[in-house]
Amino acid sequence: MKYAEIEWNNGTPRSTQFDDVYFSTDNGIEETRHVFLQQNELPQRWAEAERFVIAETGFGTGLNFLVTMQSWLESAPPDARLHYISIENQPVSPGDIARLAGQWQELRTCVDDLLQVYPPPVPGMHLLELAGGRIRLHLIFDDIEVALEQINYKVDAWYLDGFAPSRNPSMWSERVFELIGRNTVTGGSFATYTASGQVRRGMTQAGFVVQKTDGFATKRDMLKGFIFEQRCYAVEKPWFTVPAFTVAAKHAIIVGAGLAGLTAAWALSRRGWDITLIDRHASVAEEASGNPAGLLMPRLTQDVTADARFYTNAYLYAIRCLDGLQADAEQPFWFKCGNVLVDSSGRLRSILQSHCYPDNFVRYTDAGLTEAVTGVELNHAALMFVDAGWVDVKRLCRQLAQACGQRLRYLQANVTDLVRVKGHWQVVSDKSDPVAAADCVVVTNGAMANHIPVLEWLPIRAVRGQLTLVEQTDLSRNIKCGISAERYITPPWQGKHVIGASYQREGSSAELSASDQQENLNAINRLIPPGFVQSELTGRVSWRAVSDDRVPVVGCVPDRAAFEQQYRDLQHGRPSRLYPAGAYLPGLYTSNAHGSRGLASCFISGEIVASLICTEPVPVEKDILDHVNPARFVIRKLKRSRC
């Protein structure tokens, strides 16, 4: 994607593509207050709300969001949370957004907060947290219809603010109106500056009671409306529709004290939840999450897939989380030096052409120019991920635990069973003793998850990996970013590099392997001559959890027996609308099987789980939520069944 081309005329921005202004030439702030806040009856409606959801068709310069943010912080309850979903297919550059602060000093603080987290123009949903978490901006860079189809939460109030229907008709299509209607809560509202008959008819057809009202400044009329009765709509893939569960208290048990468990704990603790963290080890991050270093990189493919989209946006969210955590930490664990992916020039160019990534996200470097980027001559083409880096994973996990503060309680126990007793989950240890109980449990203990009877069907296995620690050489001391090819190598830290990691599906030995070490060294030596030579075995062995399809397993756990009964004839190809919504085990969730990409995927996965638990808008698109849903394995098996 590219930034929108904007012309500024006396403080008013105009789109060169649509030949229309982004906001009124009279007073943009007052226009937003009149058209969107007043006509949606805000902030009166959020005065006593725990959460409120606004959706906007057209983020533009962000002015509507910034004015709403300012009003929310002034008038909403201090513990309430605003979810602001905004769709934009022509992202405005940070520089153009910054001009708003110069024009309206009252918005400067809000503008500065937004620019600190504003993402590069990469397609997909970007979760941006502002005002200490009181406001969550779900910024979607995509076509309007595609984005509306991916919203998976009902909206309280809509801001319809695309360019005029005559100039940008795709923003005002019948399908757009239909999707707005089906994604609105009963009692939800909309407001728009236009009084077009096309819009009035479309919103009426979508189920809204529409009325004209006074427009802003010289504009005579505008439209607003409410929806008082929600229609029934056929749901595609109803087996992925997760019901909302209610809990008696904000207390969750998390089984597994690695990165997946701690990111979930952090996400819940920031929502005011108390966490009991249980692990078989005496302290956090004693298994794969205890590695001294790992590279943070997305998992890219040559095709535009749900997997690539998930990892790209998860990676960008992880960077924002790491930046915030590092700012509060006393010791360094996040080294934002950039990383390069080394591969054939043809494959790398294909990736860039398929996804159209911007230069401030990733850059292509020819083989002859890699030394300027990496510090060493690689003789291979590479992609440079601008804001990437490497992480001391164990120290990160400790920082996450510290960030949870007094809300986190740690228990050492080897969990072998989860039993549903009188509406609660009871956690049972290998000593057959109940160790804790809660309405809500999140299982994050890697390949140990399917040792628990209720999860034994999950196709997750452990893969052995070995890291190698090497002393820097005269050449390697010049490495200034992470380098990833067959293996990866970190820049030198305290005179050493970390090289990783081997991949053995059948490996079971915890002892360091001389052959694995040599393979690690050989892979890096093929990239960076003269090579590393090391006779002493130094490194670390751990086991990563991976699923059969190599996609993380994140979300609510299905009731497998009920699924097999409800969907037993899926293989016959009956229309999905004929099936009921999926049956899920109340209060049981998982974030698991993150494999070698956990640094990228765990933060957003923790947010997914916390959002599902708290019945909030999830931070990913619906297709991605379905892509990682644990129920996918049950559904695939049923579709392939010949019974």
| pLDDT at res. 248 | 85
Q: Does some domain include residue 184?
A: yes
User: Comparing C-alpha atoms, which of 404, 400, 272 is closest to residue 329?
Assistant: 400
* CATH code (residue 63): 3.40.50.150
413 and 364 together in one domain? no
Which residues does the chain have with pLDDT short of 70?
25, 163, 642-643
What's the mean pLDDT when you consider all of the chain?
93
> How many structural domains does the chain have?
3
Which of 513, 530, 547 delimits the end of a domain?
A: 547
510 and 623 together in one domain? no
| pLDDT at res. 643 | 52
CB count in 10 Å sphere of residue 149: 18
Please tell me whether residue 487 adopts helix, strand or coil conformation.
coil
341 and 416 together in one domain? no
Which backbone phi and psi does 34 adopt, to 5 degrees? -75, -50
Q: Does some domain include residue 30?
A: yes
Q: Considering only CA atoms, give the Rg of the chain.
A: 26
Q: Does some domain include residue 495?
A: yes
Tell me: the pLDDT tens digits for 342-351? 999 999 999 8
Q: Does some domain include residue 128?
A: yes
Which of 206, 226, 246 delimits the end of a domain?
A: 226
DSSP string of 231-256, one letter each residue: PP---SSGGG-PPP---SSSEEEEE-
Q: Does some domain include residue 451?
A: yes
* CATH code (residue 308): 3.30.9.10
Q: Name the token pair of 267.
A: 């996400």
> Are 411 and 278 in contact, with CB atoms under 8 Å apart?
yes
Tell me: the pLDDT tens digits for 394-407? 999 999 999 999 99
Measured CA to CA, the distance from residue 191 to residue 57 in angstroms comes to 11
Which residue bears the tokens 């959002």?
611
485 and 534 together in one domain? yes
Measured CA to CA, the distance from residue 470 to residue 97 in angstroms comes to 46
| pLDDT at res. 352 | 87
| pLDDT at res. 182 | 94
Q: Where are the alpha helices (DSSP H) in 526-597?
A: 560-566
Q: Name the token pair of 215.
A: 């427009």
Q: Name the token pair of 148.
A: 């509306």
Q: Name the token pair of 143.
A: 């076509």
User: Comparing C-alpha atoms, which of 439, 438, 447, 435 is closest to residue 410?
Assistant: 435
Which of 496, 527, 547 delimits the end of a domain?
A: 547
Range of 378's domain?
A: 302-327+335-389+464-547
Q: Does some domain include residue 233?
A: no
Q: Does some domain include residue 292?
A: no
| Whole-prediction pTM | 0.95
529 and 561 together in one domain? no
150 and 271 together in one domain? no
191 and 178 together in one domain? yes
381 and 401 together in one domain? no
Please tell me whether residue 136 adopts helix, strand or coil conformation.
strand
| pLDDT at res. 251 | 97
| pLDDT at res. 21 | 77
Q: Name the token pair of 282.
A: 């005496």
Q: Name the token pair of 583.
A: 């049956």
54 and 159 together in one domain? yes
Report the side by side order of strands in the sheet with 334-335.
294-296, 389-391, 334-335
Please tell me whether residue 63 adopts helix, strand or coil conformation.
helix
| pLDDT at res. 642 | 63
User: Comparing C-alpha atoms, which of 623, 610, 566 is closest to residue 268?
Assistant: 610
Q: Does some domain include residue 232?
A: no
- For residue 234, with 0-12 CB atoms within 10 Å meaning exposed, 13-18 middle and 19 or more buried, which class applies? exposed
* CATH code (residue 612): 3.50.50.60
154 and 211 together in one domain? yes
451 and 472 together in one domain? no
205 and 160 together in one domain? yes
